């Protein structure tokens, strides 16, 4: 497979080890193993730690342990552990699904701008990809009427991502049902990248149910990376009809074989304490959202944004005569701030901001960006 470079990842790896204020971060402030253990009731901590320390680090169950798949299945409707395949992050789940569901020549609809994998992999497989645009003129909202115009009898797959990276747009429960009904009318699958599931915003929109819950053409992809602050575990999953899970598993034999055994065990701990972890995230998101709103207000005329309606990402529009990549490089190299270039998502004149960072680092990042803007003006 010939595939174009993943622009965002290439840019991130140039700067992420050198900057002090990463406010482009697409996830929530990471947890440590000690944090995870502290969510256990006090009288169980020693036993849990001992279980982790004495876990034989052999190969793990290829599909993910039954324990982890059972806990994940409980977060969907009518879902059996055999509907779940634990993967190396959501990125592997998406990659396997595209390869299993699509053939060269198929028609695919994917959001744009987007996390590049969602359209570049189908393109690399030789599919015709139509862009379902999420436009600033509509306040970065999904418009299902636009999707309807793109649908053809040849459409094999509709890809959605809600909450959306990079705009923070959300599909409402009614809109996701309309998307599903449109897919059903042509026999296409709906692959919903739900990497930002459970990351609600104060005053934001209600979450649509997972796509899997809508019927046999609905496929959900999830991860511990974003909502749990555990991207280093590289643990994601797909929830899909069993025959699709079986085909993805079979392809996965050639790619990563199985999840890491320790990661799977830590994943069990994270899902077990989901509610406490989500509450911890809410406090971070709330503080940073307030700081970002104040900051944008203080730069009226220079900056504008539509705050995220879910998840933790948004695009900042800037009114300066400088391409986004040049501006992002300048911020990283001279001001030690990471704000991702809109160009990495196909969107010039914008920077992507993430509101999941440690609130004190987040505020310092905003202050350093203010100094950079002062210099440029
Ligand atoms: C929409 C979306 N899907 C998938 C991923 C990959 O996440 P993971 O770390 O679970 O592989 C990301 C990461 O930024 C993302 O934003």
54 CA distance to ligand 1 centroid (A)?
31
43 CA distance to ligand 1 centroid (A)?
35
Predicted local confidence at residue 377, as pLDDT:
86
> Which top CATH class is 7-34+276-376?
alpha beta
CA-196 nearest atom, ligand 1: 1
How many angstroms separate the CA atoms of 234 and 194, rounded? 15
Mutate to test the pocket of ligand 1, among 194, 195, 228, 238 (most ligand atoms within 8 A of CB): 195
Predicted local confidence at residue 137, as pLDDT:
85
Predicted local confidence at residue 209, as pLDDT:
98
377 CA distance to ligand 1 centroid (A)?
35
How many angstroms separate the CA atoms of 60 and 196, rounded? 26
Q: What mean pLDDT comes out for the span 161-177?
A: 97
How many angstroms separate the CA atoms of 109 and 103, rounded? 14
Q: Where are the domains of the chain?
A: 7-34+276-376, 56-274
Mutate to test the pocket of ligand 1, among 8, 89, 90 (most ligand atoms within 8 A of CB): 90
Helix ranges restricted to H, 126-255: 144-150, 173-186, 242-252
Contact between residue 217 and residue 183 where contact means Cβ atoms under 8 Å apart: yes
pLDDT tens for each residue of 301-344: 999 999 999 999 999 999 999 999 999 999 999 999 999 999 98
Ligand 1, pocket residues at CB < 6 Å: 26, 89-91, 115, 161, 165, 193, 195, 223, 225, 231, 236
Sort 17 into a burial class: Cβ within 10 Å, 0-12 / 13-18 / 19+: exposed
* Residue 229 confidence class, pLDDT cut points 50, 70, 90: very high
Predicted local confidence at residue 202, as pLDDT:
86
> Which top CATH class is 56-274?
alpha beta
Q: What mean pLDDT comes out for the span 358-376?
A: 97
Closest C-alpha among 158, 125, 129 to residue 3: 125
List the beta bridge partners of residue 84. Answer: 239
How many angstroms separate the CA atoms of 195 and 7, rounded? 19
CA-235 nearest atom, ligand 1: 10
List the beta bridge partners of residue 87. Answer: 236
Predicted local confidence at residue 136, as pLDDT:
86
Sheet of 107-112: strand order equals 84-87, 236-239, 218-223, 189-193, 155-161, 107-112, 128-133
78 CA distance to ligand 1 centroid (A)?
25
Mean per-residue pLDDT over the chain, rounded: 96
* Residue 276 confidence class, pLDDT cut points 50, 70, 90: very high
56-274 and 7-34+276-376 share a CATH fold: no
CA-236 nearest atom, ligand 1: 10
pLDDT tens for each residue of 81-92: 999 999 999 999
* Residue 243 confidence class, pLDDT cut points 50, 70, 90: very high
């Amino acid at each position: 497979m010939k595939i174009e470079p993943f622009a965002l990842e290439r840019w991130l790896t140039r700067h992420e080890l050198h900057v002090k204020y990463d406010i482009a971060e697409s996830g929530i402030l990471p947890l440590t193993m000690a944090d995870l253990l502290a969510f256990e009731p006090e009288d169980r901590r020693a036993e849990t730690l001992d279980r982790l320390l004495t876990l034989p680090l052999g190969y793990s169950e290829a599909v993910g342990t039954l324990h982890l798949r059972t806990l994940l299945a409980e977060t969907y409707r009518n879902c059996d552990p055999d509907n779940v395949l634990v993967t190396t992050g959501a990125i592997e789940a998406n990659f396997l699904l595209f390869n299993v569901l699509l053939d060269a020549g198929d028609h695919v609809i994917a959001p744009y701008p987007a996390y590049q994998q969602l359209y570049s992999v189908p393109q690399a497989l030789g599919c015709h990809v139509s862009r379902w645009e999420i436009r600033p003129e509509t306040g970065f909202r999904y418009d299902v009427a636009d999707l309807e115009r793109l649908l053809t009898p040849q459409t094999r797959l509709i890809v959605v991502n809600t909450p959306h990276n990079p705009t923070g747009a959300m599909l409402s429960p009614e809109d996701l049902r309309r998307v599903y009904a449109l897919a059903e009318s042509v026999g296409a699958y709906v692959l919903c990248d739900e990497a930002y599931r459970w990351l609600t915003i104060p005053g934001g929109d209600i979450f649509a149910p997972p796509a899997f819950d809508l019927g046999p053409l609905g496929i959900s992809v999830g991860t511990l990376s974003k909502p749990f602050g555990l991207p280093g575990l590289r643990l994601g999953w797909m929830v899909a009809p069993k025959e699709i899970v079986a085909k993805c598993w079979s392809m996965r034999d050639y790619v990563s074989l199985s999840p890491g055994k320790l990661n799977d065990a830590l994943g069990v701990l994270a899902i077990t304490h989901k509610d406490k972890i989500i509450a911890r995230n809410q406090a971070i998101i709330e503080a940073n959202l307030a700081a970002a709103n104040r900051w944008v207000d203080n730069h009226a005329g220079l900056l504008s944004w539509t705050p995220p309606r879910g998840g933790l990402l948004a695009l900042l529009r800037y009114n300066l005569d400088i391409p986004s990549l040049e501006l992002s490089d300048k911020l990283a190299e001279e001001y030690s701030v990471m704000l991702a270039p809109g160009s990495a998502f196909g969107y010039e004149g914008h920077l992507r901001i993430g509101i999941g960072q440690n609130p004190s680092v987040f505020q310092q990042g905003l202050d350093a960006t203010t100094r950079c803007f002062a210099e440029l003006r």
